[in-house]
Chains A and B, each alone.
Chain A
Amino acid sequence: DAGVIQSPRHEVTEMGQEVTLRCKPISGHNSLFWYRQTMMRGLELLIYFNNNVPIDDSGMPEDRFSAKMPNASFSTLKIQPSEPRDSAVYFCASSRDSRAGELFFGEGSRLTVL
């Protein structure tokens, strides 16, 4: 079975540009998470969707960040405009409600903002 698929794996962009990260969760999973990982702050939950509905977005840093889940098989995380401090690895993870806490992570999208 395919795991969680994220794209792009690497993105280098200039400050002020728009960045869109994409995620395809595992089929049948109804929860989706976006995390950010940095050396300084560790692993941070940005937003959590359940059945395509945003449940908790309290971790989204500011209005420059937005996330959507238009259907059960696709989600995006957008940063506009990007800033150097957004440089991080962004992970998408999915799970089933019946297996609470058992998250399956993608390989991550490494973002560098110059």
Chain B
Amino acid sequence: AQSVTQLGSHVSVSEGALVLLRCNYSSSVPPYLFWYVQYPNQGLQLLLKYTSAATLVKGINGFEAEFKKSETSFHLTKPSAHMSDAAEYFCAVSDLLAGNMLTFGGGTRLMVKP
């Protein structure tokens, strides 16, 4: 069975500061990993995905994530936070067997202070 744990349900950073959102996964087979973002009153949007190619994945809006098999982690980072980054972020896992079926983490709400 797959699972995803997002450490910290709320993260607060100052504008211009580094953003680090943590995600650890559990999967019995090589995983596919995803980050989704949800802005208020909207559905989720794909931010980036890892599917066994390069371990450092770049996504939209300056975000990137690094797959670390030894740590079973897929943390999301952005060098400099903008006010517009305030949203909820979800990590998700799938695999070749599960295909389209994602298992989502509990989400991390990112707050950006001016």
The reply to whether A93 and B34 form a contact with Cβ atoms under 8 Å apart is: no
Number of interface residues of A (CB under 8 A): 22
Q: Kindly report which residue of chain A lies nearest to residue B45, judged by CB atoms.
A: A105
Contact B101 A103 (CB under 8 A): no
Interchain nearest-CB distance for B15 vs A (Å): 27
Give the docked Cα–Cα distance between A112 and B43 (Å): 18
In the complex, the number of residue pairs spanning A and B with C-beta atoms less than 8 Å apart equals 55
Within 8 A of B (CB), among A37-94: 42-43, 45, 48, 50, 56, 91, 93
What's the nearest-Cβ distance from chain B to residue A95, in Å?
Answer: 6
Secondary structure dominating the interface of A = strand
Task: List residues of chain A with CB within 8 A of the CB of B99.
Answer: 97, 100-101
Docked CA distance A56–B99 (Å): 12
Give the residue name and chain of the A residue nearest to B34 (CB). A101
Total count of chain B residues near the partner, CB < 8 A: 21
Contacts of B100 in A (CB 8 A): 31, 33, 48, 50, 95, 97, 100-101, 103
Separation of A33 and B36 alpha carbons in the complex (Å): 16
A107 in complex: contacting residue of B41, B102, B107, CB < 8 Å: B41
A103 near B104: Cβ-Cβ < 8 Å? no
B94 at the interface (CB under 8 A from A): yes
| Residues in chain B near residue A102, CB distance under 8 A | 34, 46, 49
Residue of A nearest to B106 (CB): A42
A4 within 8 A of B: yes
**Are A103 and B107 in contact, with the CB atoms below 8 A?**
no
B33 to chain A minimum Cβ distance, whole angstroms, is: 9
CA distance A102 to B51 in the complex (A): 11
**In the complex, what's the smallest C-beta–C-beta distance from A12 to chain B, in angstroms?**
16
Q: Which residue of A lies closest to B103 (CB)?
A: A45
Q: Are A42 and B94 in contact (CB under 8 A)?
A: no
Among candidates B36, B42, B51, B107, residue contacting A42 with C-beta atoms closer than 8 Å: B107
Q: Bound state CA distance, A84 and B53, in angstroms? A: 46
Bound-complex Cα distance A4 to B101 (A): 18
B residues adjacent to A (C-beta < 8 A): 32, 34, 36, 41-46, 49, 51, 90, 92, 94, 99-102, 104, 106-107
